[in-house]
Structure 1
Amino acid sequence: MKRTILATAIFLLGVSGFAQQMATGYVFEDQNENGKKDRNESGIANVSVSNSQQVVVTDTNGKYEIPVGDDNIIFVIKPSGYVPKINENNLPEFYYIHKPNGSPKSEFAGVKPTGKLPKSIDFGLIPSEEKETFTALIFGDPQPYNLEEIEYFTKGIVTEVEGIKDVPFGLSLGDLVGNDLDLFSPYIKAVKKVGIPWYNLMGNHDMNFDATEDKLSDETYEAHFGPANYAFNYGKVHFIVMDDILYPDPRDMKGYLGGFRKDQLDFIANDLNYVPKDHLVVLAWHIPLFEPEDNNTFRDEDRERLFSILSEFPHTLSLSAHTHIQRQDFFGKDEGFNRDKPHHEYNVGTTSGDWYSGKLNKEGIPISVMRDGTPKGYAFIHFDGNSYKINYKVAGENENYQMKVFAPKVVAKGRRTQAGIFVNFFMGTQGDKVLYRIDGGEWHPMQYTERTDPSYEFLVNEWDLTEELMPGRRSSNPIKSTHLWRGNIPTNLDTGKHSIEVKAIDMFGKTYTSKSSYRLEEAI
């Protein structure tokens, strides 16, 4: 049951340690799209507004009140059927920064002093036809460390999706740049070329490293992109975007740790109070909730509270990046998610791939294959009501390129061999069906295996065995892939070339195919 705004404000003022005054204003229908509330423009009722911790809803006139301190960002949570104004860089304008004294002094500039709190902080929204079936474009870790890598990102990724149609917005999953926060502006100019509204979130390489407490580590990010924690609706999907990096690491005040402050988890809980249970909740952050090889990368108690909050919602998905590999994780009751349907987290492959390493392609751009054998690329998430399907798009390849088949070029006829046919199914996960057949014969299941991808090993070995330096930079050492399958090589066939066909069925029921071959010769 919803409280009145006044009662909510009084309650929140009592429990909030930072609240000194009340911000008030209107969420209104911006008919002339000038960003100002004109007399003839009506308010919009039942729209959520937040100060990054508390959440209130507008009354029948579109008015809200919410506590505000001396370091707050007030923002509207975009309802379905409306869009905020987009600035000249295609960044949505849905927030107001209130920092009367500006950001603390830092190596990279933060927010300039904003002065006194305005009498009314108004948010204009523009009516927009939103279908429940839509597609979002997702970038993981652009992470350029210099202007040359901005060019790699622009030419290798942005140019490929420039002018894309029928995609209402995009989202980058952190590490927008690589430690040099002066690269935020070149990054923004690059992504602007995609030509659609673009949301962002903060990664561990986007922080103010001279910050002495976590809540001050996002000051330069805020100056360029606004709140590091926010939400919006589109169709029947509710998106929650979060900074999940605790810096400095609260355990030893060195480095960083995945997790959330209490006020951040409060925001998620307060926000979801106004989200229908039959909607899909999509959460986006940088660091994955869990790392199979290292269980010390995310604070357990934060994950536990998050799972408790989400357990009431039957339809959820989370998106992460950070690892520079691609992985599907599922959290069920054994992992502390008390719900019959496991929670799916998609750890998205990155646009920078393996940090712009590897050989250069014909355009002079590093191929950047990731350590698990996933080529660099980006994702499309296709939403239909409260359901979703995901496609990973390999940069520079057609949309059907979804797997890499590795097999020896020549094998001795009639001899047993420990060599195998390996298939790296980029979007795959254990339990998916991957089949193969030789020369159009009977289909046989391939064996799921977790090991390094031999096709990626080959790329690294090229660098280690070459007698002349190659342009570019050596790729990182290989790691285990979580989407690799193996099949035996038949050697009891005639000498000559033999075809390999592979068929893979992903978790969404879509079938992909690929082909390769090997040759049998008489043993010497």
Structure 2
Amino acid sequence: MKKVLFTLGVCLFGMLGVAQDTAKGVVYQDINKNGKQDRREKGIENVAVTNGVEVVLTDKNGKYSLPVSDDAIISVIKPSGYQVPVDANNLPQFFYIHKPNGSPKTKFKGVAPTGKLPRKINFGLFPIEESERFTSLIFGDPQPYTEEEVAFFAEGIVKELEGVENVSFGLSLGDLVGDNLDLFNPYILATKRVGIPWYNVLGNHDLNFDVKEDKYSDETFEAHFGPANYAYNVGKVHFIVLDDVLYPDPRDGKGYWGGFRDDQLAFVKNDLKYVPKDHLIVLAFHIPISEPKGDPFNDAHRQRLFDLLKDYPNTLSLSAHTHIQRQDFFDKSMGWHQDKPHHHYNVGTTSGDWYSGKLNKDGVPISTMRDGTPKGYAFIHFDGNQYRIAYKVAGNSDDYQMEIFAPKVLKKDKRTRSRLYVNYFMGSENDKLYYRIDGGDWKKMHYTREQDPAYEVGLYEWETSTTLMEGRRGSNAMESTHLWKAKLPTKLNEGTHKIEVKVTDRYGKTHTATSSYKILK
């Protein structure tokens, strides 16, 4: 038995570094929100606390104890029915960083030396009335490379969300900035204006590139946002945030690769021990686990993650990174263990196609993405362990869910190769779109994998213009995963004819759009 315990200890210490001390403290009800435990403020039992690998529950008095190395972050996993404090910038304060010697020296400043481990690391939580029905706001890749692009983000995205109501928290899915980590603070100040608690994911453009080990690539991120791997609960939903950017790439030491370290997967395993099986598990990371081109993600790591989730029938995972929007569904043939497929949502970005395209009336780039998805953000509406996602196009109405591309004029009674195209931004090949002309019978559209012609028309305007255009040409079009097409009839009377399109989404809501074309002799 002693040999077994010694082996487990060595494994743990190998993940954490050499264990040098023990962190102790209390998770308590901070009724008066003064940041300290007063005499009448009781400890909270059965709250999970982690050192980034191990996860323990507080005892009946709210006490916990965890081993720590000289490079550790102790964090509380927010239980349902409580809120963690936020700082002046609306960043949740659920962690304590223990780096006695500070971060290694890098181009961008990391964590300053924290000194000796405190005698107690306490976490005060505020009791709240927390419904099982709530909404979160999701940003993909703000990714400004300059102060000007921070202003584009603030004016084009944040401005229309200032003072948003009935939203519990926001979450940015990485690439908070574009390599210049000095822009973290301007990004924070911009996002603060939304006015809700804001969580953040580490992206491949948020890294300390001048390090030789992956575990040090997030030092500046930690200094601004805390741990890159953490979890929290709201209602019957358990959120797990993970850094899935391996840098340097363990295969050749060059660039990065999508995947997880062993200590991260150990954290997930230990965390899930205390999550009820009927709860919804929402995983958030930056690089999608489903990106089809090349070899961007370690498939073996994805399978290890799926194995850890095998007893959880209700799941959702979120990513960004690609600057397109995509829905993927993993079934048993792809390594998923449940009968119900796992839904992976690659969210459209707030920077769109990297702040490219024409400028709108406010001087902000339109920045439609390469698959024809307009830039925007997502709302996820939760009800118990179920969810419904709504994508909101920035600067447009809530009901703008698809773009119709149709010829303007067709010749009467003549065959044509022209087609009606519809880009349904939240769609996948599982959806069925229908169209009709002039109120006639509804007909099914054909799902297709092509480049969005509406995006291409806008793109090639840059080549055909005889004058310089404001803004910057966008990226070349790529195959869209949410495009449908159909033939348009020409055996109609001369004049204008109405096109109607409808789809009922996977949550039962029907979306419609209209357009028109002319028939001439």
Shorter-chain TM-score tier: over 0.9
- CA distance in 1 between counterparts of 2:21 and 2:112 reads 21
| Pairing 1:110-129 to 2, within 5 Å after superposition | 110-129=110-129
Q: Which residue of 2 aligns with 1:5?
A: none
What's the counterpart of residue 469 of structure 2? 470
**Amino acid of the residue matched to residue 435 of structure 1?**
Y
Q: Report the counterpart of residue 3 of structure 1 in structure 2.
A: none
After superposition, the C-alpha distances for 1:4-39 in whole angstroms (9 at most, x for unaligned) are xxxxx9997554123222111010111111111222
Partners in 2 of 1:345 and 1:290 — Cα distance? 8
The equivalent residue for 1:272 is 272
1:28 is matched with: 28
Q: Tell me which of 13, 16, 28 is aligned to 2:12.
A: 16
Query: What whole-Å deviation, never above 9, does each CA across 1:441-462 have from its counterpart, x for those lacking one?
Result: 0100000001000000001110
- Any idea what SS the aligned residue of 2:43 has? coil
Contact 2:449 2:479 in 1 (8 A): yes
Amino acid at match of 2:477: P
Structure 2 partner of 1:404: 403
Percent identical pairs in the alignment equals 64
2:352 touches 2:376 (CA, 8 Å); kept in 1? yes
Corresponding residue of 2:100: 100
Which deviates more from structure 2 when the two are superposed, residues 103-112 or residues 36-45? 36-45
Q: Which residue of 2 aligns with 1:455?
A: 454
Q: What SS class does the counterpart of residue 271 from structure 1 fall into?
A: helix
* Partner in structure 1 of residue 244 of structure 2: 244
In structure 1, stretches of 5+ residues that fail to align are 1-8
Q: What are the within-5 Å matches in structure 2 for residues 422-461 of structure 1?
A: 422-461=421-460
1:179 aligned residue:
179
Tell me how far apart the structure 2 counterparts of residues 291 and 159 of structure 1 sit (CA, whole Å).
Answer: 31
Cα offset, 1:151, TM superposition: 0.6
What corresponds to 1:390 in structure 2?
A: 389
- Deviations for 1:410-450, whole angstroms, at most 9, x for unmatched residues? 11111111110000000011121200000110100000001
Summarize the alignment of residues 225-236 of structure 1 with structure 2, pairs less than 5 Å apart: 225-236=225-236
Deviation string 1:394-422 (CA, Å, 9 cap, x unpaired) is 00000000000000101111111111000
- Give, in whole Å, the separation in 2 of the partners of 1:293 and 1:256: 15
Query: Does the 8 A contact of 1:12 with 1:54 survive in 2?
Result: no
Q: Is the 8 A contact 2:259 2:297 kept in 1?
A: yes
C-alpha distance in 2 between matches for 1:39 and 1:133: 34
8 Å CA contact retained: 2:238, 2:275:
yes
1:4 aligned partner = none
Relative distance call for 1:253 and 1:10 in structure 2 (3 A) is closer
Q: Quick one: distance in 1 between partners of 2:371 and 2:67?
A: 47
Deviation of 1:48 after TM superposition, in Å, equals 0.2
Alignment of 1:295-314 (within 5 A): 296-314=295-313
Offset from partner CA, 1:304-350 (integer Å, 9 cap, x none): 10010011101000000000000001111111112111100000000
Cα deviation per residue 1:70-95 (whole Å; 9 max; x = unaligned)?
10000000000001111100011000
What is the SS of the residue equivalent to 1:383?
strand
SS class of match (1:441): coil
| 2:461 alignment partner AA | E
Amino acid at match of 1:173: L
Separation (CA, whole Å) in 1 of partners of 2:447 and 2:299: 29
List structure 1 segments (4+ residues) > 6 angstroms apart after TM superposition: 9-12
Residue 397 of structure 1 aligns with an amino acid whose one-letter code is N
- Report the Cα distance in structure 2 between the residues aligned to 1:461 and 1:84, rounded to whole angstroms: 49
Aligned residue type for 1:73 = I
Alpha-carbon separation, structure 2, partners of 1:87 and 1:93 = 7
Give distance in 1, aligned partners of 2:161 and 2:245. 29
- The SS at the match of 1:240 is strand
CA distance in structure 2 between the aligned counterparts of 1:266 and 1:41, rounded to whole angstroms: 33
Using the TM superposition, give the Cα deviation of residue 292 of structure 1 relative to its aligned residue in structure 2, in angstroms: 1.9
**Structure 2: 5+ residue stretches without partners:** none
Given that residues 453 and 484 in structure 1 are in contact (C-alpha distance below 8 angstroms), is that contact kept between their aligned partners in structure 2? yes
Equivalence for 1:218: 218
User: How far apart, in 2, do the equivalents of 1:34 and 1:222 lie?
Assistant: 25
Structure-2 change in CA distance of 1:65 and 1:12 (3 Å): farther
Native 8 Å contact 1:373 1:481 kept in 2: yes
Q: How much does 1:376 deviate?
A: 0.2
Hey, what's the Cα distance between the residues in 1 that align with 2:209 and 2:458? 34
Which digits, 9 at most, give the CA deviation of each residue in 1:331-390, with x for residues without a partner? 111111121111000000000000000000111110000000000000000000000000
Instruction: Indicate conservation of the 8 Å contact 2:423/2:482, yes or no.
Output: yes
1:48 maps to 48
Distance of 2:36 and 2:343 partners within structure 1: 41
> 1:512 aligned to 2:508?
no
Distance 1:13 1:346 in 2: 38
Q: How many residue pairs align between the two structures? A: 513
In structure 2, the residue matched to 1:369 is: 368
Structure 1 equivalent of residue 416 of structure 2: 417
Equivalents in 1 of 2:417, 2:489: separation in Å? 11
Kept after mapping to 1: 8 A contact 2:290/2:344: no
SS of the residue corresponding to residue 171 of structure 1 reads strand
Aligned pairs (5 A) from 1:66-81: 66-81=66-81
Q: RMSD over aligned Cα, in angstroms?
A: 1.1
Q: Distance in 2 between matches of 1:10 and 1:160?
A: 56
Alignment partners' CA distance in 1, 2:333 and 2:506: 21
In structure 1, what is the equivalent of residue 498 of structure 2? 499
Q: Deviations over 1:32-65 (max 9, x none)?
A: 1111122221110000000111100100000000
Q: Distance in 2 between matches of 1:503 and 1:518?
A: 17
Please tell me whether the aligned partners of residues 26 and 123 of structure 2 are also in contact (alpha carbons under 8 angstroms): yes
Q: Note if contact 1:453-1:478 (Cα within 8 Å) is conserved in structure 2.
A: yes
Structure 2 counterpart of 1:506, which letter?
Answer: D
Q: Is the 8 A contact 2:91 2:199 kept in 1?
A: yes
Distance 1:14 1:259 in 2: 24
How far apart are the structure 2 equivalents of 1:158 and 1:422?
31
Structure 1 pair 189–375 and aligned structure 2 pair: CA distance change class (3 A):
same
8 Å Cα contact 2:232/2:240 also seen in 1: yes
Cα distance in 2 for residues equivalent to 1:229 and 1:442: 52
Q: How many Å separate the matches in 1 of 2:379 and 2:6?
A: 43
1:134 counterpart SS class: strand
Give the aligned partner of residue 358 of structure 1.
357
Q: Distance in 2 between matches of 1:422 and 1:251?
A: 42
CA distance in 2 between partners of 1:425 and 1:121 (Å): 49
- Checking the alignment, whether the CA contact within 8 Å between 2:229 and 2:243 is kept in structure 1 is yes
Alignment match, 1:150: 150
Contact 1:12 1:67 in 2 (8 A): no
Question: What is residue 335 of structure 1 aligned with on the other side?
Answer: 334
Residue type of the alignment partner of 1:513? T
1:301 shift after superposition: 1.4
Q: Distance in 1 between matches of 2:59 and 2:461?
A: 65
Alignment of 1:129-140 (within 5 A): 129-140=129-140
- In the alignment, the residues of structure 2 paired with residue 323 and residue 492 of structure 1 have an alpha-carbon distance, to the nearest angstrom, of 43
